[in-house]
Each structure stands twice: as C-alpha cells, then as structure tokens.
A and B are shown apart, each in its own frame.
Chain A
Amino acid sequence: MSLEPQELSELKSKIGREPTSTELQIVAAEWSEHCSYKSSKRHLKMLPMKGPLVITEKGYDSGVLDVGDGYVVTAHIESHNHPSAVEPYGGAATGVGGVIRDILSAGTRPIAIFDGLRFGDIEKDQQARWLFKNAVTGIADYGNCLGIPTIGGEVEFDECYENYALVDVAAVGFGKKDKLIKNHAKKGDIVVLMGGSTGRDGIGGSQFASDSLESEDRSAVQIPDPFIEKLIIEAILEARNENVIHAMKDLGGGGLSCAISETADALEIGIEMDVSKVHTRESDMHPDEIMVSESQERMLIVTSKTKFKKLQEICKKFRIRCSIIGKVKSDNQMHIKKGKKTFAHLPTDVVANATLLDLPSKKPSYLKTIEKEKKLKTISDYSKTMMKLLASPNIASKIWVYGQYDHEVGIRTVVKPGRDASVLRLDHGKFLSVKIDGNPKQCYINPREGAIGCFEEACRNVVCTGAKPIGMLDHLQFGSPKDPEIFWTFLESLKGLTDFAKDFKIPCVGGKVSLYNETPVGPIKPTPLIGVIGLIDKQPQIPQKIIDGDYLIIVGDTKDELGGSEYFEYIHKLIGGKCPTVNFSESKKNMKSVLEIIPKQLLKSVHDCSKGGLAVAVSELSLNNQIGCKVSLDKVPGKKLAVDRVLFSESHSRYLLIFDKKNLSKVEKILKKNKTSYNIIGKFGGDKIQFVNGKKSVIDLRVDKAQKTWLNSLRDLVLHG
C-alpha cells in the first residue's frame, strides 16, 4: 500500500527533494488506481462526453443534464467492490453514501438510487449467500433512512465472483439549473470541513481498492452513518438556497488528500490547511492518518469569511460539525500543517495528476475457440426446463430484494420496481426513466459485443417506458490491468461502448473504472455496467393489466445467439457459443418504432426480451398479470431455428408489445411504415403459459404454479439455503 519504486523516484524528481511521510501518504492515496485512473484515463477520452443537453462545470463529481424549463438532472455511478467483499453491510451502505454525496456536490437533491449486485453461485456457496443478504440489508438501511427511493437495479450470480462481490450504486439528482453550484474560489476564501468526524476507519481505502483482494483488511472499510448523511443533505441544500457555498466536494476515496488536491487543482488555487483544526473521532490521530482517513459523511466546502456565519448557523440547526480547516491561496500548492509545523507542501498538479500509464494489451487466447459451439444434451421436456429457469437465481423475481427498499418515498415513483425500468415524475411535467444493465456472461465470450449489448439493453429498458435515452453512465469493472489479456478486454469493451455512444448520439455523463477485481480463483469476468438515463416529455408507458384476448407482437429478429445465455450456462453448464451482437441500424429502427407507438397510447404493456430470451420475457408478462398466454414459435421473425433456440436466444433489439386487439391496425401501420421486422406471435388468456410450434406443444405450464416458484425461489434460497 505505497508508491511503486519508479513512482517514488518520479515524485522526488518532480519536487526536487525527499518527500515527508505525510507527503508519501497523500501521494500514494491520490496516485492509487482508484483515485488517479492512471491505467485507464488516456483511453477513457475516446468516449463522447458532450451533447446538447450536457452541462459541464469545473470539478463536478456527477454528470449534469439539462431537462428543460430550467431544471437539471444529475447522475453518477460508483462501486464499492473491495469493501463489500470483506464487510458487505458496511461496504454496500457506504457505497450508497458516497454516490449520494457526489450528486449533492453539484447542488442537486438526490431523488433515486439504483444498485447492481453481483455475487458467486448462491445455490452452492454459503459465503455468497451471506454476502448477498448483508449487502442488500446495507443498501436498504442506508437508502431507506435517507428517504431516497431505491427504484432499480439488477442482481446476478456467477461463479466468477466466488468469495467476492460487485456492489455498484448509481444515483440521480434533480434541481434547478440556476441553483447548481458553480465551483469557484479566490484567495482569502476559507476551506471548511463539514459533517462526521474523522476517524481511523477506511484508512488506506483507496489503495486497498487498487490491489487484489488478498487480505481481509476490515479496517480499510468505512463505517456507515445514514443519519448524519441525511442531516448533511438537508443542511447543504439549505446552504445552497442561501448561496453560501462557493465550491464543494465530497470526501470519498483518498479522504482529505484527494479532496484538497483535486479541488485546488480543478480551481487552480492553493490550499493551506491545518490538521489540528479537523474534528476527529480520536484525540491522538497523526497527520498522516487524518489526511488519508476515508471516514464517511464529510463534505469539503469553500466559502468566504462573511458567508461562513450563515453556514455555521445552518450546521448548528442540524447539529452537525463544521470546522474551518484552511484557507485558499493563489500559489497552487497544497500546504498541510499542524499548528505551525509543516507536514506536507506539494504542488497540487503533481498530487492530482499521476503519470498516466500506457499498458500493453493482448487478445486472450481463450477467445479463439470460445464462440465455437459444443454439442448439447437433448431435452425432452421444455416445460421442466422452463420451471428450472424461472426458479434460477438469475431469473427468479427479485421482489425479496426490492421489497426491502423504500421505493415510494419522495412520491415520484410512477412505474415501480420489478418492471423494465422504473419511472419518476419530475416537477415540470416530464418523466425520468433510468436503468442499469450488465452482462458478464456475454462480455466474457465477446468483450466488445457484450459491452455493446449491455448498453443496448439499458436503452431498450428505458425505451419500453417511452423514454428517449439522453445520457449514459459507464462503470468498467475488470481484473488486474497489468495482465495484458485483461487489459485487452477492457479496451475492447470501451471501444464497443464508444462506437455505440457515438452512433446513437448518447453522451457519457459519468463513469467509474474499477480494476484489480481479482478473487482467490482468478479475475472476474469483464463486467462493464451501463446506466442509461431516459427522458419522457409527456406520458410514460405505464403497465396496464393484461386481459383475455390481448395480442402479443414481437419486434425484432430472433437469431441463433445463445452464447452467455441463461439457457446455455444454467441448463447446459456451457460457457461458450455465439455472443449476441447488436446490429446498429436494426436497433435504431426498432427503438424508433416503439418510441413512435407508445405516445399514441395504443399499448397496454411493453417488455424487453433479454435474460432467458423470449420464453422468459413472455412468462414474466403472464406472471405479473396472472394470466395465461399462447405463443406460436413458428411465427417468431428471423431465420428458421430449432425450438430451443427460438425460446431461449438472447438476441438484442427485441421488444414485446401487448395491446387490445382493436388497436392492431394502428400498431401495424407504424411498424410497417418504419419497415420494422415484427410479427403477431400470440394471445393472452386462460391459465396456462403455452408455447407451440405449429400444432406441437413445446411448453405447457400452469400460471399459478409457475408464479409461486418465480416469486418465492430467491427468498427461499437466501433464507433456507
């Protein structure tokens, strides 16, 4: 947990002397992979970050999108993988806390939380079950207490996360454009530390997160306190309304070291601070510890001496501490003192800008053969296969998870969790739809196409609510970048995402890279996670009750693409086969058609086809509406395929449209006009889920039985093993 030898000599040559111990700690924290992005930064520039709705300001920790009428939406994504793997409750909870403060830093109120959770095989692995259960409780206890609804996310289990956890948290904020904090500072301004006290928890957290997880260093995990965070949110928003904040930054990875150096560097100022002014939890903390502690619920604020009085008054009302710890200077130096004694004195640009690496990459050898298919065992009863899939942890309903999250608080949740994407109402009559998606199984088989698939799937989900994608968040999670083969998968994923973002004109408004995700059995599968933010101008597509006689249309072709599918991996235990690929022009055409039909209010429900393929997507509609259906597999558009392929292929760009028969001609008219590939494949009714091929029955399940399995299996697995 310190600088590499060449980094140390680089630091010495830059400052022309031996660094002090405090300086070493500060630089080690800021030059860690976690804070500096040294392996990834030069490549991340390829992503398009600009767009007509994107607002950029100096030193923002979250992306800002203009949603019209003087309002903005902010968004950010973070992960807390290393901490959650050793202490899932605290790790997951503080993950929520960190991303919420990033939203707050821009001066916007956090209005929604999303979480993506990944663990080992919970059917076999008790440790994975423990990690899952406690991470969920950690998120629930933190988010619920803050009164910010957790309205979406995903949960996935895969052996590659054995003894490990990926806990990703995204958050969205909302506010007035003219109330955004426009970070600025001038000589003579003061630097204030507000919020919780600084303790010995989370010391070295960012270095801990920048290394393979070999030791279970629990002291590097921060301790959550959502009550203090709630008070900070209200105090900051009150201070924002009183215009007493010049600049603001959340204390996250690297603690004060990063907050001070990055603020000074972004605003081109110097900061002189005195560690003895920091309110600490313990009396005997060394300056080194104070500078790198990652204690939670702290904010750094730059204000003027005159405005400080008002800030102090607000803090007093909420009984939260705020201490003047330093002052703004014009020398571009970071000067850390204790009383009169200097402990560190460094140029901020040296601290805040680690030398970027240009790591070698090499195509992994496993990729040469992975897309070749192996022979599958024959299945005689697909009804049994279907029941097995509906009970499988990746496909079973996640109600046990989102039922523990307050997803109604804030009274914005128009479309509730458990559907494709949740929808929030905004104050000016528009609606926001957000979804996060990952697919490590497909990304392992084809890092480029897999990543694009995650992006398209997230887009599809928001499109199903009637929203147009306006921004994207990416979270790139990989193993050690020092392994050229892993680094190659990182670059491929990034290139894929860039191509899609540019072609679809969806700017990247925020992101995060998490490397060194290594478990005792090796690196995780490439796990890029994509969040898509969609905006609805008028009426969202709210799921209506499907009734007897309603029609089912599928939009998009079903292709022989089962690599990384639940069918191959869960049923056949096969890792390999052809990864689904997104055809950009087809994808755009289908999106356009769906977004054209929805505002006409012709549809009862729109559902995306993804994990588990058409069979699972149709079943979910039946189970959510407690009604049977009959689907003809021979009518599904695309080249003729074997029935199992049609049922379980995970081809992208497919949507299910459900509507009253009377609207058929109007729906078809739009699909035809846009030359969209589609077909009427079935009808709802009865109490059975039926798939037929010609006259032959392929699947025949009772809805009530299937529903019980689908709703309860995840809970039963967690509680009873």
Chain B
Amino acid sequence: MKVGVVVFPGSNCDRDMYHVLTDVFNLDAQYYWHEKSLPKNIDAVILPGGFSYGDRLRAGVIAAHSPIIKDVQKMAKKGIPVLGVCNGFQILVESGLLPGVLLKNESLNFMCEWTNLIVENNKTPFTNQFKLNQKIPIPIANGEGRYYVDDKTLKELKKKNQIVFRYDEVVNGSSNRIAGVCNEDGNVVGMMPHPERAVESEINPIDNKPSSLIFESLLSKMGVSN
C-alpha cells in the first residue's frame, strides 16, 4: 500500500514519520511537497508534525491554505484514511476537516513529556487494533496543544463517537482531556501526541507495543499483514 507523507515548509517530523512507515512497518511511503498534488492511487495520507510556516498567525492556519490541502480534502471525502499528528492535527482543524481548535497550553509553555492516552474509539483506521480504554504511553511536544470545543460541539462529538483519544490525566487543559478526534465518517483522525516517536523500543522507555497498534490498525484496514 502507498502512504503519502505531506511536507510543508517548516514540517519537522516528516523524516521521522517516513522512517517509521518504511523501516519499521515496511510500507511504501512517499513525500509530497505541499505545492504538488496527490496521486489518485494513494491509500492513506499522513500530515506530520512540525512548525509549518513557523506557526505564524496561529499553528497550522497558513498550511491549511496550501494547494495540497484541496487534494487531502478530496481524499478525505472519498473515505481514504488521513492522519494528522501534532502540527498535522492543527492543519486538519484549520482546514475544516476536523472540528474544534487548538489553543496554547494552559501552562503557556511548550511541553515535551511522556503521557498516557486512553483509546475512546476503536473503529477508526488508526485504532481498529486497540481494545476500548486501552492505555498508550506516548510523548507530546507542543506549545499549542490544548484542544478546545464548546459544550454543544462536545456533546455532538460524544454522540457521534468522534473522540478518539483522551489523556489519562489532565495534561494541558484541553476540553474533556481530549488528545485526538476524528471526522463523522471516522476516516480522518487528528492527534496531538507523536506515535512515530513511540513505536521503537530503543527510544520508548515504557512500552512500544500500544503505539505500534496505530500503524498496525492502518495495515489491517488495508488488509496488509505485516
């Protein structure tokens, strides 16, 4: 299967994501510069983390207007799995593919630390191998990672099963401790923590298996055995 890794000016987790897709999960991954278009035969799209456009104006807001986003929107509509990690999540939110906004952390500082996620929705292409409420040790690294939605939208998210991951404890003050959400169809997922930093035991001091299930879920969705 073919996975596209979108690169914006200022993306800085693109190489990490590419390494994980190709070297760890043996996938056929390809970089796509934000001004290029995505080929039709692509099976999944990943928007990696970083500081697109240096986080100017607001994290992700300029990249959301990149030419490639039109293609990402088309793919999303077709039901192709799309994952946004960290800045990628911010871009998906800013481009209207996912609900809510990401605000500055409650501490007003950049935060880099290991947290625990709880899986709230195990029906998405990136979570289908998890048990509900399964814990994932995973690092965060962001300054604008506090997910916010108003109460009305929050109710809807719950009703439509759009909350994918929650933090086990209060981390940055996000609404309902939300760490990741999906669109109504469930094929577009955004998350603030970095799964690509947690799937190799060499750099994961706790347990690399749960994070690996994010990528294994994608493989299983595509019917690829790893």
- Contact partner, A408, options B20, B54, B194, Cβ 8 Å: B194
One of B104-112, B149-157, B180-188 contacting the partner: B104-112
Number of interface residues of A (CB under 8 A): 31
Contact B51 A410 (CB under 8 A): no
Cβ-based interface call for A404 (8 A): yes
Residues of A within 8 A of B33 (CB): 317
Residues of B within 8 A of A542 (CB): 205
CB distance from A228 to the nearest CB of B (A): 8
Which residue of chain A has its CB nearest to the CB of B56?
A227
Cβ-based interface call for B84 (8 A): no
Contact B12 A146 (CB under 8 A): yes
User: Bound complex: CA of A409 vs CA of B87, how far in Å?
Assistant: 13
Quick one: given A409-B16, A411-B200, are A404 and B10 in contact (CB under 8 Å)? Answer: no
- Contact partner, A319, options B9, B50, B194, Cβ 8 Å: B9
Cβ-based interface call for A140 (8 A): yes
Contact A404 B112 (CB under 8 A): yes
Which residue of chain A has its CB nearest to the CB of B17?
A411
User: Bound complex: CA of A227 vs CA of B202, how far in Å?
Assistant: 30
Contact with B along A114-153 (1 / 0, CB 8 A): 0000000000000000000000010011001111000000
Quick one: given A319-B9, A411-B197, are A406 and B54 in contact (CB under 8 Å)? Answer: no
Contact B16 A318 (CB under 8 A): no
| Chain A, range 405-432, C-beta contacts under 8 Å to B | 405-414, 416, 425
Residues of B within 8 A of A416 (CB): 205
Which residue of chain B has its CB nearest to the CB of A540?
B202
Q: Which residue, A225, A231, A412, A416, has most C-beta atoms of chain B within 10 A?
A: A416
Cβ-based interface call for B47 (8 A): no
Cβ-based interface call for A721 (8 A): no
- Contact partner, B112, options A137, A226, A407, A410, Cβ 8 Å: A407
- Contact partner, A230, options B15, B19, B51, B196, Cβ 8 Å: B51
Cβ-based interface call for B99 (8 A): no
CB distance from B37 to the nearest CB of A (A): 16
Residues of A within 8 A of B12 (CB): 145-147, 230, 409
Contact with A along B183-226 (1 / 0, CB 8 A): 00000000000101100101101000000000000000000000
Residues of A within 8 A of B202 (CB): 414, 425
Residues of B within 8 A of A70 (CB): none
Residues of A within 8 A of B139 (CB): 408
Residues of B within 8 A of A227 (CB): 9-10, 51, 53-54, 56
Cβ-based interface call for B141 (8 A): yes
Cβ-based interface call for A360 (8 A): no
Residues of A within 8 A of B110 (CB): 140-141, 144, 404-406
Residues of A within 8 A of B111 (CB): 403-404
User: Bound complex: CA of A144 vs CA of B12, how far in Å?
Assistant: 9
Q: Which residue, A406, A407, A413, has most C-beta atoms of chain B within 10 A?
A: A406
| Chain B, range 140-186, C-beta contacts under 8 Å to A | 141, 143
Number of interface residues of B (CB under 8 A): 31
Residues of A within 8 A of B49 (CB): 409
Contact B51 A144 (CB under 8 A): yes
User: Bound complex: CA of A410 vs CA of B194, how far in Å?
Assistant: 12
Residues of A within 8 A of B196 (CB): 411
Q: Which residue, A147, A227, A405, A425, has most C-beta atoms of chain B within 10 A?
A: A147
| Chain B, range 87-112, C-beta contacts under 8 Å to A | 109-112
Contact B141 A406 (CB under 8 A): yes
Contact B16 A411 (CB under 8 A): yes
Residues of B within 8 A of A318 (CB): 9
CB distance from B138 to the nearest CB of A (A): 10
Contact with A along B9-26 (1 / 0, CB 8 A): 110110110011000000
Contact A410 B10 (CB under 8 A): no
Cβ-based interface call for B43 (8 A): no
Contact A404 B9 (CB under 8 A): no
User: Bound complex: CA of A225 vs CA of B12, how far in Å?
Assistant: 16
User: Bound complex: CA of A404 vs CA of B194, how far in Å?
Assistant: 16
Residues of B within 8 A of A414 (CB): 202-203
Cβ-based interface call for B113 (8 A): yes
Contact A403 B113 (CB under 8 A): yes
Contact with A along B49-70 (1 / 0, CB 8 A): 1110111100000000000000
Residues of B within 8 A of A230 (CB): 9-10, 12, 51, 54
User: Bound complex: CA of A405 vs CA of B13, how far in Å?
Assistant: 15
Contact with B along A638-656 (1 / 0, CB 8 A): 0000000000000000000
Contact B197 A408 (CB under 8 A): yes
Q: Which residue, B109, B112, B143, has most C-beta atoms of chain A within 10 A?
A: B112
Contact A144 B54 (CB under 8 A): no
Contact B143 A144 (CB under 8 A): yes
Which residue of chain B has its CB nearest to the CB of A230?
B10
Which residue of chain B has its CB nearest to the CB of A544?
B205
Residues of B within 8 A of A425 (CB): 202-203
Which residue of chain B has its CB nearest to the CB of A424?
B203
Contact B203 A409 (CB under 8 A): no
Which residue of chain A has its CB nearest to the CB of B55?
A145
Contact A147 B9 (CB under 8 A): no
Residues of A within 8 A of B56 (CB): 227
Which residue of chain A has its CB nearest to the CB of B51?
A145
Contact A225 B54 (CB under 8 A): yes
- Contact partner, A406, options B15, B53, B112, Cβ 8 Å: B112
Residues of A within 8 A of B203 (CB): 408, 411-414, 425
Residues of B within 8 A of A231 (CB): 9-10
- Contact partner, A403, options B19, B55, B112, B143, Cβ 8 Å: B112
Residues of B within 8 A of A408 (CB): 112, 139, 141, 194, 197, 203
| Chain A, range 538-562, C-beta contacts under 8 Å to B | 542
Quick one: given A231-B9, A404-B109, are A409 and B141 in contact (CB under 8 Å)? Answer: yes
Quick one: given A317-B33, A403-B111, A406-B110, are A145 and B9 in contact (CB under 8 Å)? Answer: no
User: Bound complex: CA of A240 vs CA of B168, how far in Å?
Assistant: 45
CB distance from A700 to the nearest CB of B (A): 31
User: Bound complex: CA of A406 vs CA of B145, how far in Å?
Assistant: 14
Contact B54 A145 (CB under 8 A): yes
Quick one: given A403-B112, A408-B139, are A147 and B50 in contact (CB under 8 Å)? Answer: yes
Q: Which residue, B10, B33, B143, has most C-beta atoms of chain A within 10 A?
A: B10
Residues of A within 8 A of B19 (CB): 411
Contact B113 A409 (CB under 8 A): no
| Chain A, range 210-232, C-beta contacts under 8 Å to B | 225-227, 230-231
Residues of B within 8 A of A317 (CB): 33
User: Bound complex: CA of A413 vs CA of B16, how far in Å?
Assistant: 12
Residues of B within 8 A of A403 (CB): 109, 111-113
Residues of B within 8 A of A411 (CB): 16, 19-20, 196-197, 200, 203
Which residue of chain B has its CB nearest to the CB of A399?
B113
CB distance from A573 to the nearest CB of B (A): 33
User: Bound complex: CA of A416 vs CA of B206, how far in Å?
Assistant: 12
Which residue of chain B has its CB nearest to the CB of A317?
B33
Which residue of chain B has its CB nearest to the CB of A227?
B54
User: Bound complex: CA of A226 vs CA of B54, how far in Å?
Assistant: 7
Quick one: given A319-B9, A404-B109, A416-B205, are A147 and B200 in contact (CB under 8 Å)? Answer: no
- A231-B10, A425-B203 are known; give 9 further A-B pairs, CB within 8 A: A140-B109, A145-B12, A146-B12, A226-B51, A230-B10, A230-B12, A231-B9, A410-B16, A411-B16
Can you give 16 A-B contacts (C-beta < 8 A)? A145-B12, A147-B13, A147-B51, A227-B53, A230-B12, A317-B33, A403-B111, A404-B110, A408-B194, A409-B12, A409-B197, A410-B16, A411-B19, A414-B203, A425-B203, A542-B205
Closest 3 CB pairs of A and B: A147-B12, A227-B54, A145-B51
- Give the B-binding residues of A (Cβ under 8 A): 137, 140-141, 144-147, 225-227, 230-231, 317-319, 402-414, 416, 425, 542
